[in-house]
């Protein structure tokens, strides 16, 4: 069987058989098609166009005539004819902005005493979506180089819950471990070393930081226990030699995980705590890592409480009609008033293919201020129509941001009321989690002295707009501190300081874990937070209704 994949005039031919899906064949050809649901046919992000040939789609045989095209999900399609040509839309391809992600680390000033003073160290942030690695000279603590790459586990499953589920089936744990080490970390190591001239064998110490599920999979331990009550990890600490994990560095290099606090408050948050020096701050300081899990830690004069809330992947663009990750061709900022003259910026190529999380926060905030969007997330349809920005998509009102002729996809780029609702649910999960955590301490958002924002996403959002939509507390932007990728910073500190391992073990015993769904307040707070900015108007005194 000969299959030709075509993307914007570039063609790649592969040989295969009918046992493989079009998604698998495309990846064999080198095209990384996005499949947010891991190829289960539920997310509609892996669309392709079939050329002439016979196919099996969702178990049904179809034939496409030579002069026709048929849009299908690549993960649910197999080729039955001897030859076929598949056309891949640009919107279905994973794009990546490695430089943007690699620069999101701020390592705090720190006196270091490395465990292995000769050679090099490797610090790694194992994110659910992205893996970032830094090569460190242990003689002087210099960051020699850093690189990033999508966590190739996204080829199997897009989120933590899906990966836990996969691990309940035989062979999948090993497959996911291979994807993150052989197909993600090792290529990063090669790139780091090839670009700097450092021999891989000179890397003698590696520290990895990430959520608890990622650490289990990385070290080849099933995370299934984290997915069921009482959500307990098999272990909160992991360590191995590099050769045992097949990592392409010095074979006897020590590979350690930053220890986790609990099943859903992982080593990445432990890293954030050390990198931000959280427990040594006076008053009430809150650390928030805005992401799929929405982890947060409140520290009151050294006493810590922590929780995690399921915000979902909406801030990464998942589940939105024209949502995308923060990569090339993504709209990353938006500004406008009642004229609806949209001022946008785009990462890389000026012709956008969608908008990422920071941009949709901007859109909702600007829309709320000018009256385009009401507090329930609904459009003023007459205003949309009067500015020729209205479109109906699957029965929903939508605002047209970019006309078809100006987009990379040849289609209009819109924001639907459903998209707004998805972001409001995600921000409600974050904000209600914070309010609940504070309530357990007998405090409110008005009592906060400082907010520390961790994670790459937090570094790129407009704080005023995030406060306007009710994602973050309305306490003035002067009380906010953004530390960027604290997870990678924490891994770097573990490599640089021989005392960090003991400090981490002390940190993970300090927070009291608050289980949100067992509290009396979380559900009510969540319902209030679904509004813009919130039904509890006392929480947002600076936000004026339009």
Tens-place pLDDT, residues 24-53: 888 777 777 877 666 777 777 788 999 999
Q: Which of 307, 299, 264 is nearest to 452 (CA)?
A: 299
Q: What's the pLDDT score for residue 4?
A: 85
Determine the average pLDDT of the residues in 438-459.
93
Among candidate residues 264, 287, 282, the one with its CA nearest the CA of residue 211: 264
Summarize pLDDT for 227-240 with one digit per residue, the tens: 998 899 999 999 99
In tens, the pLDDT along 125-171 reads: 998 888 999 999 999 888 999 999 889 998 888 788 889 999 999 99
User: What residues does CATH 3.30.420.480 cover in the chain?
Assistant: 98-268
Provide the b/e sequence for 264-277 (b: ≥16 CB within 10 Å): bbbbbbbbbbbbbe
Average per-residue pLDDT for the chain: 91
Residues 6 or more apart whose CB falls under 8 angstroms from that of 100 comprise 326, 327, 347
> What is d(CA 268, CA 296) in angstroms, rounded to the nearest whole number?
11
Whether the predicted pLDDT of 100 surpasses 70: no
Integer-rounded Cα Rg, in Å, for the chain is 24
Domain 277-311+430-529 class, CATH top level: alpha beta
* Dihedral sign, Cα of residue 39, residue 42, residue 46, residue 51: positive
What is the model's pTM? 0.84
| Ranges 411-420, 427-436, 455-464: which has the least confidence | 455-464
Beta bridge partners of 396: 393
Provide the pLDDT for residue 135.
96
pLDDT > 70 in the chain, percent:
95
Ramachandran class of 511: left when φ > 0, alpha when ψ lies in -120 to 50, beta otherwise: beta
How many whole angstroms separate alpha carbon 46 and alpha carbon 38? 10
Model pLDDT, residue 316: 82
Q: Is the pLDDT of residue 480 over 80?
A: yes
For CA atoms 470, 473, 475, 480, the dihedral sign is negative
pLDDT at 442 over 70: yes
Q: Tell me the mean pLDDT in the region 402-413.
A: 91
Which residue, among 50, 73, 57, 64, has the nearest Cα to 3 in the 3D structure? 50
- Please answer whether residues 129 and 154 qualify as being in contact, where contact means their C-beta atoms are separated by less than 8 angstroms: yes
Find the mean pLDDT for residues 287-314: 89
Whether 450 shows a pLDDT value over 70: the answer reads yes
Nearest alpha-carbon partner for 272 in 358, 357, 209, 207: 209
> Which pLDDT band, with edges at 50, 70 and 90, does 110 fall under?
low
Q: What pLDDT, in 10s, does the model give residues 309-355?
A: 988 778 888 788 898 888 888 999 999 999 999 999 999 888 999 99
The CATH superfamily of 98-268 is Domain of unknown function (DUF4445) (3.30.420.480)
Who wins on pLDDT, 109 or 228?
228
Cα distances from 161 to residues 64, 166, 212, 222, in angstroms, run 37, 9, 12, 13
Q: Which of 436-440, 456-460, 491-495, 530-534 has the lowest mean pLDDT?
A: 456-460
Give the confidence band of 455 by pLDDT, cuts at 50, 70, 90.
confident
Q: How much is the average pLDDT of 476-500?
A: 93
Of 273, 135, 251, 259, the closest CA to residue 197 belongs to 135
pLDDT at position 349: 83
pLDDT (tens digit per residue) in 63-89: 999 888 999 999 999 999 988 888 988
Range list for CATH 3.30.420.40 in the chain: 277-311+430-529
Residue 211 has pLDDT above 80, yes or no: yes
Name the residue with higher pLDDT: 410 or 306: 306
Above 80 in pLDDT, residue 55?
yes
We find that the CATH architecture of domain 2-92 is Roll (3.10)
Q: Is the Cβ–Cβ distance between 245 and 257 less than 8 Å? A: no
Given a contact cutoff of 8 angstroms between Cβ atoms, the answer to whether 389 and 382 are in contact is no
Half-sphere CA count of 49, side-chain side, radius 13 A:
14
């Amino acid at each position: 069987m000969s299959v030709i994949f075509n993307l914007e005039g570039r063609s790649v031919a592969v040989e295969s058989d009918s046992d493989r899906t079009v998604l698998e064949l495309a990846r064999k050809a080198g095209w990384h098609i996005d499949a947010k649901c891991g190829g289960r046919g539920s997310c509609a992000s892996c669309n392709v166009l079939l050329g002439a040939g016979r196919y099996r789609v969702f178990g049904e045989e179809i034939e496409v005539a030579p002069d026709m095209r048929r849009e299908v999900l690549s993960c649910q399609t197999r080729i039955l004819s001897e030859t076929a040509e598949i056309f891949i839309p640009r919107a279905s391809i994973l794009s990546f902005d490695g430089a943007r992600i690699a620069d999101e680390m701020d390592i705090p000033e720190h006196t270091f005493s490395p465990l292995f003073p000769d050679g090099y160290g490797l610090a790694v942030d194992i994110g659910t979506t992205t893996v970032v690695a830094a090569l460190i000279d242990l003689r002087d603590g210099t960051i020699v180089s850093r690189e990033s790459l999508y966590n190739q586990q996204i080829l199997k499953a897009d989120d933590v819950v899906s990966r836990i589920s996969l691990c309940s089936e035989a062979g999948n744990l090993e497959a996911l471990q291979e994807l993150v080490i052989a197909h993600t970390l090792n290529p990063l190591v090669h790139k780091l070393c090839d670009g700097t001239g450092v021999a891989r064998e000179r890397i003698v110490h590696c520290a990895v930081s990430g959520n608890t599920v990622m650490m289990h999979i990385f070290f080849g331990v099933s995370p299934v226990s984290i997915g069921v009550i009482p959500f307990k990890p098999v272990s909160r600490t992991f360590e191995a030699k590099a050769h045992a994990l097949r990592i392409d560095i010095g074979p006897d290099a020590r590979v350690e995980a930053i220890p986790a606090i609990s099943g859903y408050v992982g080593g990445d948050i432990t890293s954030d705590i050390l990198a931000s020096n959280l427990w040594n701050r006076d008053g009430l300081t809150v650390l928030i890592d805005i992401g799929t899990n929405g982890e947060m830690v409140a520290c009151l004069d050294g006493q810590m409480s922590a929780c995690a809330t399921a915000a979902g992947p909406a801030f990464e663009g998942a589940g939105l009609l024209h949502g995308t990750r923060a990569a090339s061709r993504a709209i990353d900022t938006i500004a406008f008033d009642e004229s609806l003259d949209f001022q946008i910026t785009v990462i890389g190529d000026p012709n956008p293919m969608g908008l990422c999380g920071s941009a949709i926060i901007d859109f909702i905030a600007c829309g709320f201020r000018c009256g385009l969007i009401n507090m329930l997330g609904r459009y003023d349809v007459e205003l949309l129509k009067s500015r020729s920005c209205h479109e109906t998509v699957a029965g929903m009102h939508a605002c047209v941001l970019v006309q078809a002729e100006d987009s990379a996809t040849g289609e209009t780029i819109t924001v639907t009321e459903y998209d707004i609702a998805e972001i409001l649910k995600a921000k409600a999960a974050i904000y209600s989690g914070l309010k609940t955590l504070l309530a357990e301490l007998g405090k409110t958002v008005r009592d906060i002295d400082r907010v520390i924002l961790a994670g790459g996403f937090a570094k790129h959002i407009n704080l005023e707009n995030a406060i306007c939509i009710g994602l973050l507390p309305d306490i003035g932007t002067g009380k906010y501190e953004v530390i960027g990728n604290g997870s990678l910073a924490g891994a770097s500190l573990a490599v640089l300081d021989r005392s960090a391992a003991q400090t981490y073990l002390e940190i993970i015993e300090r927070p009291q874990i608050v289980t949100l769904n067992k509290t009396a307040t979380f559900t009510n707070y969540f319902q209030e937070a679904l509004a813009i900015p919130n039904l509890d108007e006392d929480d947002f005194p600076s936000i004026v209704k339009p």
